[in-house]
Structure 1
Amino acid sequence: MKIAILGATSQIARDLIVSFSAEEGRQLHLFARRPDAVMTWLASSGLAGSYPVDDFSAFATQEFDAVINFVGVGDPAQAVAMGNSIFDVTLRFDEMVLDYIRTNPKCRYLFLSSGAAYGSNFSDPVKHDTPSIVAVNNLSPHEWYGVSKLHAECRHRAHPELAIIDLRVFNYFSRTQDLSARFLITDILRSIRDGVVMKTSSDPIVRDFLHPSDFHRLIEVFLSAPATNAVVDCYSRAPIDKSGLLLAMKEKFGLRYEISKAMETTGATGRKACYYSLNTRAADFGYQPFLTSLEGLMIEAKAVFQRGVNQGVSSE
C-alpha cells in the first residue's frame, strides 16, 4: 500500500512513520512545507533515504492508496497563536486532498480531527450522542481550532461516496513530545526533570492519553477495513484522573507537587474537566487498544528520562 503522509513535520506523524518503518508492505511518501526538516529528522532517526520527501506541490502528481492528513498544530497554545489563519490552513489542505480523491476515488483519506470539534464544554466525557455545541453568536478565538475541525468533518460527511475517516484525537503523548509545551503531563515531566516542585490547581480533571502504539494500531485498522465514510473518537483502554496521575508520578519518578486552590487553570482552548470520549465506535471496525492511559504514560515517561540520562541530563 502506497501512503501519502501530509504534514510530516508534526510529532504524531513522525511517531507513526517510525511505527510504519518497523513493518513491511507500507510505502510512504512524506510531504511537508519544509522537506529539508523532514530529511534531517529522518537522518537523526536512522531512517535516512527510507522514504521520498517532497513539498506539497508534488502531491497531486503521485498515485496513492491512502492519504493521512496531519497538517495543523498539536499544541493548543500554538493553535491560538495562529489566530484566524487556522481556518485557511485547515481548508486549504483538506480541499487539496478532497480534490485528489474525487479524481482517485479508490484512494482512502484519513483526517486528523480533534475532540475540540465537540466544542469547549467537557464537564462530562462525550458519548456517541453528544452534540457539538458552538456559541455561534459569541465565538471566542480559543474555539476557532475546534470549529475548523468541525467544518472539515461536515465537508467530509457531505461526500458519503468518498472513503474518508475522521479521527478525533483527544490526548496523545509520546517520548518525542516537546516538553516546553503547556500540557499537564509536560508540566509534570519538566518538574521531575528540573527537580522543582510543581504547583497545580485543585481542579479535578480526567484525560485519556493515546499511546503511539495504539494510534498506529488504530491507523492500521482503517487502512485495512472496508472503505467507508465515518468519524471515530480515539481512546485508550482506560483514562486517568489528575490525582491518580500525580500520585503515580510521585511514586515512580519522585514528582514533588503542591495543590493550590487559587490557581487559574483556563487553558488555551478553554476549561476541559473531562476531555475524553466514551464513544467506542472504532471498536466496530476492529480497534482494540492495548494500553491504559497510565500504562502508556509510564512507558513514555521512562523513555524520556532514560534519554536524558544518556545525554548527561539528570532526571532527579
Structure 2
Amino acid sequence: MRIAILGATSQIAKDLIVSFSGNKDTELYLFARRPAEVSNWLASVGLSEYYPANEFSEFPKIDYEAVINFVGVGNPAQAVALGNGIFEITEYFDNLVLEYLCQHPHCRYLFLSSGAAYGGGFTEPVTSDTRAVVNINRLEPHEWYGVAKLYAECRHRASPDFAIIDIRVFNYFSHTQDINARFLITDMLRAIRDNVELKVSLDYIVRDFLHPSDFYKLVCVLLGTDAINTVVDCYSKAPIDKPSLLAAMRDKFGLRYDVNEVDPSLNSTGNKPYYYSLNHRAADFGYKPELTSLEGIVIESGKLIK
C-alpha cells in the first residue's frame, strides 16, 4: 500500500513510520514543512534508504492508496505559541488532502483529530452519546485547538462519498517524547532524571495513554477496513488515575513527589479531570489494544530513562 504521511516531523508520526518500517507491504512517502529535519531523523534511526522526505509541493504528484494527516501541534507549549494560527494550519492541510481526494476518490484519508474536539470540561469520560460542547459566546484561547479539530471533522462528515476516518487521540506516550514538554508524565521523568522531588497538585485526574504499538494496530485495521466515512476514539486496554500513576512511577523508577495545592503544569486546552473515552467504536473494525496505560508507560519510561 502506498501511504502519504503528512506532518512527518511529529512524534506520533515518527513512531508510526518506525512501526511501518517492518511492514514490507507498505511504501511510505513522507511530507513536512521542514523536510531536512525529517531526513536527519531518518538517518538517526537508520531509515534513510527506506523513505524520502519531501516538500508538500510534491504531494499531489503521486497516486496514493491512503493519506494520514498528522499536521498540527504536539505539545501544550506549541499550542500556546501557535495561538489562533491553529485554525489556518489545520484548514490549509486538510484542504490539501480533500482536493487530492477529489482527483483520487479511491484514496483513503486518516485524519489525526483530538479528544479536545468534544469540548466541555470532561467531568466524566466521553461515550458514543457525548455531545460536543462549544461555548460560542465566550470562546477562550484554550478552546481553539479543539474547535479547529471539530470543524475539520464536520467538514469530513459533510463529504460522505470520501473514505475519511477521523482518529481522536486523547493521550499518547512513547520513549521518543520530548522530555522537556509540559505534561505530567514528562514532569515525572525529569524529576526522576534530575533526582529531585516533584510538586504535584491535589486534583484527581484519569488519563488513557495509548502505546505506539496499539496505535499502529489501530491504523492498520482502519486502513484494511471497507471504505467508510466515520470517526473513532483512541483507547488503551485500561486508563489510569494520577494517584496510581504516581505510586507506580515511585515503585518502578524511584520517583519522589509531594502532593500540594500548586499545579505547575501547562494546561493549554483547559483542565480535564476525566480526559478519556469509553466510545470503543474502533472495536467494530477489529481493534483490540494489548497494553493498559500503565503497562505502556512503564515500558516506554524504562526506555527513555536508559
Q: Normalized against structure 2, the TM-score is what?
A: 0.98
Q: Which runs of 5+ in 2 are unaligned?
A: none
**Take 1:274 and 1:215, find their aligned partners in 2: how far apart are those partners?**
21
**Take 1:263 and 1:80, find their aligned partners in 2: how far apart are those partners?**
17
Alignment of 1:149-160 (within 5 A): 149-160=149-160
Aligned length: 306
The answer to whether structure 1 residue 34 and structure 2 residue 34 are counterparts is yes
Alignment of 1:1-316 (within 5 A): 1-263=1-263, 267-306=267-306
**Take 2:50 and 2:262, find their aligned partners in 1: how far apart are those partners?**
51
Choose 76-85 or 243-252, whichever is displaced more: 76-85
**Take 2:95 and 2:70, find their aligned partners in 1: how far apart are those partners?**
14
Q: Is the 8 A contact 2:77 2:266 kept in 1?
A: no
3-state secondary structure, aligned to 1:267: coil
**Take 1:227 and 1:177, find their aligned partners in 2: how far apart are those partners?**
33
**Take 2:92 and 2:130, find their aligned partners in 1: how far apart are those partners?**
28
* AA aligned opposite 2:210: L
Q: Is the 8 A contact 1:80 1:145 kept in 2?
A: no
Q: Is the 8 A contact 2:200 2:262 kept in 1?
A: no
Choose 140-149 or 69-78, whichever is displaced more: 69-78
Q: Which runs of 5+ in 1 are unaligned?
A: 307-316
Offset from partner CA, 1:235-282 (integer Å, 9 cap, x none): 000000000000000000000000002447671111110100000000
3-state secondary structure, aligned to 2:121: coil
Give the superposition deviation at 1:120. 3.6
**Take 2:25 and 2:109, find their aligned partners in 1: how far apart are those partners?**
18
Once the two structures are aligned, what percentage of the paired residues are identical?
A: 63
Choose 87-96 or 261-270, whichever is displaced more: 261-270
Give the superposition deviation at 1:78. 1.1
**Take 2:305 and 2:266, find their aligned partners in 1: how far apart are those partners?**
29
Offset from partner CA, 1:129-182 (integer Å, 9 cap, x none): 100000000000110000000000000000111000000000000000001111
Q: Is the 8 A contact 1:120 1:269 kept in 2?
A: no
Offset from partner CA, 1:111-131 (integer Å, 9 cap, x none): 000000000411110010100
**Take 1:138 and 1:89, find their aligned partners in 2: how far apart are those partners?**
23
3-state secondary structure, aligned to 2:167: strand
**Take 2:22 and 2:274, find their aligned partners in 1: how far apart are those partners?**
34
Q: Normalized against structure 1, the TM-score is what?
A: 0.95
Give the superposition deviation at 1:76. 2.3
Offset from partner CA, 1:192-243 (integer Å, 9 cap, x none): 0110000000100000000000000000001111110000000000000000
* AA aligned opposite 1:109: Y
Choose 8-17 or 120-129, whichever is displaced more: 120-129
Query: Pairwise CA RMSD of aligned residues?
Result: 1.0
3-state secondary structure, aligned to 2:102: helix
Q: Is the 8 A contact 1:112 1:168 kept in 2?
A: yes
Give the superposition deviation at 1:74. 1.6
